[in-house]
Structure 1
Amino acid sequence: MIYLITGGERSGKSSYAQSLALQLSNSPIYVATARKWDDDFQHRINRHKQERDERWTNIENDKYFSELDFSGKTVLIDCVTLWLTNFFVDTDNDVNLSLEEVKREFLSIADQKNVTLIIVTNEIGMGVHAETHIGRKFTELQGWMNQFLASKADEVVLMVSGIPVKIKG
């Protein structure tokens, strides 16, 4: 089963996804995709860790999900936007290569036996138009990845002002 939780920044995606994971499992896995770019990111990482109690297994993996075995587990991946950023930066902003690599990594876990995936992503294309060429390229990458994930998901939820709106499933 694949759940995709999408929406704008601070729309309640992570809270909703964590609640869903705990409804589905007494011991979910949380995969944090953020790199510690600066003090602000470290603060966000620390805040997110504090939101999870001893029921959670926390894994920090910024790119290579194919290294992980989630068979029979409930796994929350938070978030696709930061995960994509890591590929985008590491490929010198190559949209096609980034998309190819991240799709391959996603499929490596989606195809595992009896895994439940809850994926958090952002609808960055619904916000302010990116000011830079690289920003516009990343927005395209995010949009294409979101479409791919939504096509694979059994259920898609759009978070709007803290309210979940089921749009698929």
Structure 2
Amino acid sequence: MTVIFILGGARSGKSRRAQALCEALSLKRIYIATGQAFDVEMEDRIKRHQQDRDESWTTVEAPLDLVKAVETHAEPDNVVLIDCLTLWLSNLMHRERDIVLETANLIEALSLASGNIILVSNEVGLGLVPETPLGRAFRDEQGRLNQKIAAMADKVEFIAAGLPLSLKG
């Protein structure tokens, strides 16, 4: 079992890199999607991601219950791609869920998983300080979540301009 964490900015090539790593393995491919289409622009983004994957992928929608999806699908014969933690965190915050508890549960599920898992997340702390309290709270929670995932992952890569930089492993 290997946990790989792919981190980067918007449009950096994170998802493309994660998908390529999954497709290099001769395992059943599970795509755990955390995004939800609340508007036309997001519908288009989701469709583009779906079009990038061929029929070898099974898609599981898990906008909130990521832990259950990991527990169900992270098996020895599978490679699981979670795309992405940023949207999952946003979903949790908008529903006022306990972020500390949800994060701890996810870390535990990842630690106990028996399959290969690749997680994608945005690095949101490199830009401007958000203007709103919610924006700042989100940035801070995302930073904490990323640190915890990076600490437990076997390998961590930062993607910039489509190029991977190995941070760990």
TM-score normalised to the size of structure 2? 0.92
Residue 132 of structure 2 is matched in structure 1 by 132
Please report how far the alpha carbon of residue 26 of structure 1 lies from its aligned counterpart in structure 2 after TM superposition.
4.2
Please report how far the alpha carbon of residue 128 of structure 1 lies from its aligned counterpart in structure 2 after TM superposition.
2.0
Residue 164 of structure 2 is matched in structure 1 by 164
Large movers: runs of 4+ above 3 Å: none
d(CA) in 2 for partners of 1:148, 1:25: 29
Counterparts of 1:72-83 in structure 2, within 5 Å, are 72=76, 73-83=78-88
Structure 1 window deviating more from structure 2 (41-50 vs 57-66): it is: 57-66
Please report how far the alpha carbon of residue 112 of structure 1 lies from its aligned counterpart in structure 2 after TM superposition.
2.2
Tell me: CA distance 1:139–1:55, structure 2 relative to 1, closer, same or farther (3 Å): same
| Contact 1:110–1:117 (8 Å) recurs in 2 | no
Residue 99 of structure 1 is matched in structure 2 by 100
d(CA) in 2 for partners of 1:60, 1:127: 30
Offset from partner CA, 1:89-116 (integer Å, 9 cap, x none): 111xx7xx22321331342244122x11
Structure 1 window deviating more from structure 2 (64-73 vs 139-148): it is: 64-73
d(CA) in 1 for partners of 2:48, 2:111: 28
5+ unaligned residues in a row in structure 1: which ranges?
none
d(CA) in 1 for partners of 2:11, 2:26: 25
- The number of aligned residues is 164
Please report how far the alpha carbon of residue 143 of structure 1 lies from its aligned counterpart in structure 2 after TM superposition.
0.1
Give the letter for the 2:109 counterpart. Answer: S
| Identical pairs, percent | 38
5+ unaligned residues in a row in structure 2: which ranges?
none
